Amino acid sequence: MLSSAGMERPHVMVSAYAVRPPDLFRSAGSKTFGRRFVERALVLSAVVHLVAAGLFRAAEERSARLGVQQMTGIPEQVHTVNVLVPVKLPPFPGRLPGSSRARVGKIEPVPPPGPDVVLSEFGFPRNSQPIGPEGGPGTSHGAPNPPPPDPTPAFAGADTPPQLVYAPKPAYPDWAIEARVEGKVLLYVLVGKDGHPRKVITTGGVRALGEDAARAVMRWTFRPGLSNGNPIEVWVEVPVVFRL
């Protein structure tokens, strides 16, 4: 073959032959080796499949648990907390329905206590002599006696007894209202020349209410008693009635 320049190109010959691969399993030794190789490959494949199946199943179970927890929103561990709810109670009334305040009875002048009997602050007679053995002279032993209290003044009868001018009623104690306590308290009140109480002594009645009655009487105001036209100190008896 000639080119345009008149020169002949060289020819390249390629021959292809079909070559048959050698038969590796044709001999007896080669067959035994091939059988063992296939068996090992099958065993390894089975093990790999079993491991993969176990891992896949575990992943599915964990995903299922997480899915339920996310759907319900309930944690695996729950703590119980007790909550105390305060209850607002209505206020207790200071006075019961239908109750009334204490009332003051009639005030009457009383004679002063005798010289042999001195009323204590609690209304009990107080002995003026020390107590000794029976039949003894009555001398005291040990610590000296305390100084005697101020003697109760003795007055002649007033021409005009004290007159009550201002008397706020005693407050009924809450405990007495709750316990339904009623009764009368007898008080001895020493009215001074200025008309103000100087001393109050509980002499009888419901002594549990005596302190409340005496506290109220000390705030009272009297028109002082008169003797020959002059104001004097006078003892008067004041009954205070507590009734619901």
Q: How many residues does the chain have?
A: 244
| Domain shared by 28 and 65, yes or no | yes
- The pLDDT of residue 105 is 53
Q: How many domains does the chain have?
A: 2
Name the phi and psi angles at 57, rounded to 5. -65, -40
Residues 47 and 159 grouped into a single domain:
no
Same domain? For 51 and 158 the reply is no
* Tokens (6 digits) for 119: 């009323």
The encoded tokens of residue 87 equal 């209850």
Domain membership flag for residue 135? no
Quick check: is 11 in a domain?
no
Claim to verify: residue 34 and residue 112 sit in the same structural domain: no
Task: Determine the Cα–Cα distance for residues 67 and 7; give it in Å rounded to an integer.
Answer: 84
**Do residue 44 and residue 112 come from a single domain?**
no
Query: Are 192 and 119 part of one and the same domain?
Result: yes
d(CA 212, CA 176): 11
Maximum Cα interatomic distance, the chain, rounded to a whole number of Å: 185
CA 207 to CA 120: how far, in whole Å?
Answer: 14
Tell me if 136 is assigned to some domain: no
Looking at residue 54, its pLDDT comes to 75
122 and 52 in a common domain: no
What is the rounded CA–CA span in Å between residue 66 and residue 77? 14
Q: Show the low-confidence residues of the chain (pLDDT under 70).
A: 1-31, 33, 56, 59, 63-157
* Residue at 224 is within a domain: yes
- pLDDT by residue (tens digit) across 78-88? 443 444 444 44
pLDDT at 202: 92
Distance between CA atoms of residues 209 and 172, nearest Å: 9
- Could you tell me if 237 and 164 lie in one domain? yes
Q: What is the DSSP track for 22-48?
A: P-TTSSHHHHHHHHHHHHHHHHHHHHH
Question: Does one domain contain both 39 and 115?
Answer: no
Dihedral angle over CA of 96, 97, 100, 101, nearest 10: 40
Looking up tokens 């009997």 gives: 117
Domain housing 42:
23-74
Q: Do 68 and 115 fall into the same domain?
A: no
- Which of 35, 59, 74 marks a domain boundary? 74
Q: Domain check: are 231 and 115 in the same one?
A: yes
Same domain, 60 and 121: no
d(CA 10, CA 54): 68
CATH number assigned to the domain comprising residue 217: 3.30.2420.10
Residues forming beta bridges with residue 191, ordered by sequence position? 197, 234
